[in-house]
Amino acid sequence: MTIRLHDTRAQELRDFVPLDSSNVTMYVCGPTVQSGPHIGHVRAALSFDLLRRWLQRRYGRVTFVRNVTDIDDKVLANATDAESWWGLAYRMEQEFSAAYAAVGIQPPTYEPRATASIPQMQELIARLIERGHAYPAADGSGDVYFDVRSWAGYGELTRQSVDAMEAAEDADPRGKRAPQDFALWKGAKPGEPADATWASPWGAGRPGWHIECSAMARRYLGAEFDIHGGGLDLRFPHHENELAQSTAAGDAFARYWVHNGLVTVDGQKMSKSLGNFTLAADVLAQHDPLVVRYALAAAHYRSSLDLSDSSWTEAEAALGRIRTFLERAQRTAGGDEGPAAESLPAAFASAMDDDLGVPQALAVVHETVRAGNAALDRGDVDEVRIALGAVRAMTGVLGIDPFSPEWRGTGSDTKTTTALDALVQAMIAQRAQARADKDWPAADRIRDAIGAAGITLEDTPDGTHWSIDG
């Protein structure tokens, strides 16, 4: 077994070899909590949830860190007289956590807030100054910049030369030696809230965004760790700058850089001006969270994912096929215990090993569902049992097993199913009575009405069962 991952720095697929095969270490950039999550945030977090689950399956243990950027220009900008920046940050952090939890994204091992690691950031900045890769601004602003020309590796991640790069827009350029230099520490400016500044050797101020992640990754995972993840939009400048800071400070830092593709809506980039900005909360209010998870997971993590109304209906139909099979198979094969570990098909595992090929893995799930349905039709109980175990094992790995404790009784499912079941059972009883009375036209009318609602009846020796057409 070898997992291969696309490494952004190498620009190719590489065999994944963890530093410690009993504990994979992974850092993923978390949200800047300035406003609530859009659907792209959920897709990014889900991509790494799927990778983490697979690594957990393969290696047993993953130490997974996803930070919260709770101090930033944008957080300060969105605070109001009625709500402090830290109150806003906490409220938005909760919105992110709720959206992640709704679609079954497992909580990180550690979820550090940037404001809780300020000493570690200052220590890293001091080390960079000492090594000649950072300097306090000459204008007395209290800013500290990373000196990009002092570090030959700068531009390595995105393969750009410094001269071709745009100026960093994260600070007033007056005190910089080169326009591409970026802020490690931002001196306090008049009008900024006093509780958004921390004392430092360079004057009161706050950290720049990039240094936050370098310091938190080091604090929680050490100077070298396995995987650094984030959205494709973070490659430059954020990840380029993280890599430069950490390596210039003497840390080996991330061994693999993994980036997920972005989300478009109806073929267009999400933007407030186009009116297609899709908030996670709106999507989750309209669709079953399991359907949302399936739809967001169905595309390969590196490809861009275009969402439209059909994304949700297709995901719903695909999940319906899985659910219907599982219900039928459990009635036939019996047992509702969890799937056996050894029942994961080899084709599924090799798809997941191959740069987390979830679309190919889902194809194996649906092939197995089809084979299982065929086995049901011909009454081959042994084959049904094998397919049932395999489908539950595979959907369990992907976090989409509708019968797992995390989804059983969540969303719209339980109440609707209970209500529908009561109605359909009443009609099944009426049909049985009509047949007992030899009132064939009435029995047919009831069966047709049930069929017109998209419900299939299955008469078995132990009674009539119903399922929604997949």
> How far apart, in whole angstroms, are the C-alpha atoms of residue 334 and residue 326?
11
- CB 85 to Zn ion: min, Å: 19
Of 210 and 287, nearer to Zn ion (C-beta) is: 210
- CB 66 to Zn ion: min, Å: 10
Of 29 and 196, nearer to Zn ion (C-beta) is: 29
Of 49 and 288, nearer to Zn ion (C-beta) is: 49
- CB 213 to Zn ion: min, Å: 3
In degrees and rounded to multiples of 5, residue 225 shows phi and psi of: -145, 175
- CB 29 to Zn ion: min, Å: 3
Name the region of 141 (left: φ>0; alpha: ψ -120 to 50; beta: rest): alpha
C-beta of residue 343 within 8 angstroms of C-beta of residue 389: yes
- CB 212 to Zn ion: min, Å: 7
Q: Describe the chain by its helix, strand, coil percentages, rounded to 5.
A: 50, 15, 35
Question: Which window, 92-100, 205-213, 312-320, 429-437, contacts Zn ion (CB under 5 A)?
Answer: 205-213
Site string for Zn ion, 3-32 (x = CB under 5 A): --------------------------x---
Tell me the two tokens of residue 310: 């059909």
Of 122 and 241, nearer to Zn ion (C-beta) is: 241
- CB 215 to Zn ion: min, Å: 10
Of 207 and 261, nearer to Zn ion (C-beta) is: 207
254 touches Zn ion by CB under 5 A: no
Which one, of 121, 119, 115, lies nearest residue 90 by Cα? 115
Tell me the two tokens of residue 153: 């590796």
C-beta of residue 132 within 8 angstroms of C-beta of residue 150: yes
Of 29 and 124, nearer to Zn ion (C-beta) is: 29
Name the region of 312 (left: φ>0; alpha: ψ -120 to 50; beta: rest): alpha
Concatenate the DSSP letters of all residues of 151-215 into one string. -TTTTTTTT--GGGSPPP-SS-GGG-SSTT-EEEEEE--TTS-GGG-B--TT-SEEE-HHHHHHH
> How far apart, in whole angstroms, are the C-alpha atoms of residue 454 and residue 145?
64
Under rule CB under 5 A, how many of the chain's residues touch Zn ion?
A: 2
| Site residues (CB under 5 A) for Zn ion, limited to 303-332 | none
- CB 351 to Zn ion: min, Å: 29
- Which residue has tokens 């350029």? 173
Q: Which residues contact 381 (CB under 8 A, 6 or more apart)?
A: 332, 333, 375
Helical packing angle, 381-398 and 346-353, nearest 10°: 20
Total residues belonging to the chain: 470
Of 213 and 249, nearer to Zn ion (C-beta) is: 213
Question: Which window, 91-99, 137-145, 209-217, 413-421, contacts Zn ion (CB under 5 A)?
Answer: 209-217
Site string for Zn ion, 163-202 (x = CB under 5 A): ----------------------------------------
Of 31 and 104, nearer to Zn ion (C-beta) is: 31
Of 29 and 103, nearer to Zn ion (C-beta) is: 29
Question: Which window, 108-116, 206-214, 269-277, 402-410, contacts Zn ion (CB under 5 A)?
Answer: 206-214
- CB 328 to Zn ion: min, Å: 46
Question: Which window, 128-136, 207-215, 431-439, 452-460, contacts Zn ion (CB under 5 A)?
Answer: 207-215
C-beta of residue 308 within 8 angstroms of C-beta of residue 265: yes
Tell me the two tokens of residue 173: 């350029």
> How far apart, in whole angstroms, are the C-alpha atoms of residue 277 and residue 246?
35
Question: Which window, 212-220, 266-274, 304-312, 363-371, contacts Zn ion (CB under 5 A)?
Answer: 212-220
Choose, by CB under 5 A, the member of 24, 50, 213, 319 that binds Zn ion: 213
- CB 100 to Zn ion: min, Å: 17
> How far apart, in whole angstroms, are the C-alpha atoms of residue 19 and residue 254?
11
| Site residues (CB under 5 A) for Zn ion, limited to 42-81 | none
Of 147 and 212, nearer to Zn ion (C-beta) is: 212
Of 16 and 257, nearer to Zn ion (C-beta) is: 257
Helices (H), 82-138: 85-102, 118-130
- CB 31 to Zn ion: min, Å: 10
- CB 261 to Zn ion: min, Å: 18
Binding residues (CB under 5 A) for Zn ion: these are 29, 213
